[in-house]
Amino acid sequence: MITDRQKRILQAIVEQYAEVASPVGSSLLAKVFNVSSATIRSEMAELEKQELIKQPHTSAGRIPTDKGYRYYVNNLSDTTPESPAERRAEKALATRVASGGVSEQVIKNAVDTLVELTHNLGIATIGDQLYMSGLSNLFGQPEFMNSGQVREVARLLDNLEPWLYEAAPNEPLSVYIGQENPIGRSAGCTLIVSRFRSNFSDRSYIGVLGPTRQSYRDVMSLVRRTGEALEEVLYA
């Protein structure tokens, strides 16, 4: 168990790291929480003991672990009001999906819009078709700058479609973080997918693949809403 303040510190680390892609230091958090840096370091030490955050190298700040991300995702509140930016993004998404016309164009529009809004790789399966867009987004992330990591991500992509058909995640929204990914445990990726029904298949999927460093609340909401919008358009 962690205290309420430790939970809020973990939340701040996850969200700040998602925004700036660099370890989060105690001095910044001390200003946010209006306490001393020593207090923040003590709380960080407790979070490290529970393997929720880690120090990537000596003298650096802290970043979340896969376990920390999972704790954060599991404790996201559904009651947090949407920001104006989120409402605009979801409105744009619904408009693009509704204006697609034929099913292939609807799917393509949905994937392309997710790519634009989340800066991840967008993917969708419907029937025996796989749609993918945004590879440059994925490999442009700082986490994937070395060749070894690129190979791991490429291996994950090679196995993504058959895994989706075999595993058939049955939840409206599924989130696989880092080592939770059964087809790419060492790729350092998060896969967020929404299942939706269509006239072609009861198990079609749309989602994004990106680094574990994500703005989880925003991306999960967009992927979920996209699945719902596609089902409204494609399932009669």
CATH number at residue 64: 1.10.10.10
55 and 149: one domain? no
Q: What is the mean pLDDT of residues 120-140?
A: 88
The reported pLDDT for the residue numbered 200 is: 76
Give the list of residues 6+ apart from residue 199 with CB closer than 8 angstroms, or none: 103, 234, 235, 236
Lowest mean pLDDT among 29-38, 41-50, 52-61, 72-81: 72-81
First to last CA, the chain: 46
Sign of CA dihedral 226, 230, 233, 236: negative
pLDDT at residue 64 greater than cutoff 80? yes
The reported pLDDT for the residue numbered 96 is: 66
Give the list of residues 6+ apart from residue 43 with CB closer than 8 angstroms, or none: 3, 5, 6, 9
Per-residue buried b or exposed e for 41-78, using 16+ beta carbons within 10 Å of the residue's own CB: eebbeebeeeebbeeeeeeebbbbbbbbbbbbbeeeee
Lowest mean pLDDT among 12-21, 164-173, 215-224: 164-173
Please indicate, yes or no, if residue 79 is contained in any of the structural domains: no
Domain boundary pick from 74, 95, 124: 74
Q: Which two tokens stand for residue 46?
A: 């407790």
68 and 89: one domain? no
Task: State the residue range of the domain holding 165.
Answer: 84-234
69 and 96: one domain? no
State the total domains in the chain. Answer: 2
CATH number, residue 118: 3.30.450.40
The reported pLDDT for the residue numbered 80 is: 62
The pLDDT tens digits for 160-185 are 888 887 777 888 899 999 999 877 77
Q: Which two tokens stand for residue 27?
A: 């001095």
